Amino acid sequence: MILRQHGSSPNPLGRLIPNVGTLLVMRAREWPDHAVLAYRDAADVYTPVTWSAFLDDLASTVAFLHEKGLGKGDRAVVLSPNSYAMLVWEMAAISMGVVSVPIFASYDARNVDRILSHAEPQAIYVDGEERLERAKASPAFAAIPVVVTHPDFAEECLGGAPRELLLELAARVDPHDVCFIQYTSGTTGKPKGVMLTHRNIMSQREGMAQVWEIPKGSRLLSYLPWHHSFGGLFERFAALYHGATIYMEDSFGKNIPRLLENWTVARPTQFFSVPKVYVALVTEARASPEVHDTIFHPELSFVFTAAAPLPKECAEYFKAAGVPVVEGWGLTETSPLVTFTSFDQPHAESCVGEPIAGCEILIDDNSEILVRGPNLMKGYFKDPERTDAVIDCMGWLHTGDVGELCEGGLQMIGRVDGLFKLTNGEKVSSMTVENAMTLTSRWVQHALALGDGEDFVAALVFPNFRRLEMWAKVGREELPAGWDLSRQKEIQDLLAAEIRDNMANFQPKYGRVKAFVIVPQELSIEEGEITPSMKVVRHHVLEKYREWWEAIYRPETHRDKRDCVVTIEV
């Protein structure tokens, strides 16, 4: 492997639209009668909203916020699941130069307080009484001058204001002004407020417009949460930029039968998703020719995947059905895309393609991936020290991801903090082991591979309780409680068989899991064990469940858990 590599797109970025507000006004003038979005109404029927109506709602919300004293640089929080009201609130705020601060809708009161206290917003939109109570529990809530709740949104923010104020304020927004503060905890602990500018967002759109076509009139069935960069920045702005109608997927990707029902109505022409949902769709398609025909209808031109490697068999199924799979990689700090695969590129696991236009990547002497370009964040809000720690004097962002450049582009290896070395000197990427254990698993919800300084790879396994409960009901059994779940031989054998199968062809062979323990707990966002995007906070979980994994390597010091350890022949 070459220890220092450089890659960039051969294409110049080209001229950018200066800001989000200008983009929205342009599109509304071009496509006044075209649907920007469609949502399930009270009668459970998809109701479209035209660009003209959307622009009127933006103008009214801008007038409301302006009247309340909000101006350029102020911060407006949104605490809501994806909805039309959320779209209007966020786009109105950033169109007038106000910074949007989206908060994960399911965050508990502690996490909501942490963000409100740090962001110190001048306005907040809250969807639902229960979320409002969570926000009110924060001492910072009382200092927010403008509070709008969902029942009052239409009455307070909408009302047919003239568009002139929107046009005037949008024209004053500089491309380098911040438009989003995206709070991300990542997998390293304390949340960081990633400041993203209008230029960051617009550079992504221009870069991708050079390499793919999403014609006006396209349909996106959208479930990815808008508080997160993949859904809120990449997918959503792809639709707004190109004129695709966003069909709101009201199960939020969590109910596959409902998603398929919505798929039947929306007939998406492109689909953006994480691998878990693709695996579930392929499983359904294989089981039913009718479902297969529903998913792979003639107008589905491509699907886009990110967040984790797509399993090879899943990618091959899409290819056999004639639907290209485009894979991408990036971070919230890169707003978010850095690299992507081409439509005709053969699928290779962990290969995430070439840099988008204007973006550069560098592999340093430690194999860490560095990124530079117009998509790079302005910095972390109120945290210059943390910013300086990740962006060096040459403008390179140190991503914390490990990779190498090879044929086909960037090859992902894992996280810097997820690499460990066995006693034989071989390095193991925890990410690749964990993906092999979980992406197609029926029984494993989360897994943590470990073995630093040990003779072999082992894993902490956090089971999928819902599926285990279904399995137990079929056998007319009840799941044992507490530690007994970890000790039950039938459950140990069930998980061992699956892990053995998933590890059978894993390479390198020394990376295969040889032992595991079932931890009878569900990892939670509230406890800081997983992020809202369902990534495990590695250091915290390893420390919290130390006695469980130490029982694998040092059973003599943890005799109470020796019968929880399961060995696998590999």
Percent helix / strand / coil, the chain, rounded to 5? 40, 25, 35
What span, in angstroms and rounded, lies between the C-alpha atoms of 252 and 349?
A: 27
Per-residue pLDDT of the chain in tens (570 residues, 90 and over written 9): 344 688 788 888 989 999 999 999 999 999 999 999 999 999 999 999 999 999 999 999 999 999 999 999 999 999 999 999 999 999 999 999 999 999 999 999 999 999 999 999 999 999 999 999 999 999 999 999 999 999 899 999 998 889 999 999 999 999 999 999 999 865 545 679 999 999 999 999 999 999 998 999 999 999 999 999 999 999 999 999 999 999 999 999 999 999 999 999 999 999 999 988 999 999 999 999 999 999 999 999 999 998 777 888 899 999 999 999 999 999 999 999 999 998 888 877 778 999 999 999 999 988 899 999 999 999 999 999 999 999 999 999 999 999 999 888 998 888 888 888 898 888 898 988 998 999 889 999 999 999 999 999 999 999 999 899 889 888 777 788 777 888 889 999 999 999 999 999 898 899 999 999 999 989 988 888 888 878 888 888 999 999 999 999 998 888 888 889 999 987
Residue for token pair 């009139």: 217
pLDDT at res. 308: 78
Q: Structural domain boundaries of the chain?
A: 1-17+202-372+403-417, 19-173, 422-567
What span, in angstroms and rounded, lies between the C-alpha atoms of 311 and 439?
A: 7
Query: Residue 239: helix, strand or coil by DSSP?
Result: helix
Query: Residue 51: helix, strand or coil by DSSP?
Result: helix
Domains 1-17+202-372+403-417 and 19-173 share a fold: yes
Residue for token pair 């878990």: 276
Residue for token pair 């001048």: 122
Q: Are 411 and 404 in contact (CB under 8 A)?
A: yes
CATH code for the domain defined by 1-17+202-372+403-417: 3.40.50.12780
pLDDT at res. 219: 98
CATH class of 19-173: alpha beta
Joined together, the tokens standing for residue 220 give 């996106």
pLDDT at res. 296: 97
pLDDT at res. 4: 66
Q: Count other Cβ atoms within 10 Å, centred on residue 186.
A: 18
**Whole-structure pTM value:** 0.88
pLDDT at res. 186: 55
pLDDT at res. 189: 53
Query: Residue 129: helix, strand or coil by DSSP?
Result: helix
pLDDT at res. 1: 36
Radius of gyration of the chain (CA): 24
Peptide bond into 508 cis (omega under 30): yes
CATH code for the domain defined by 422-567: 3.30.300.30
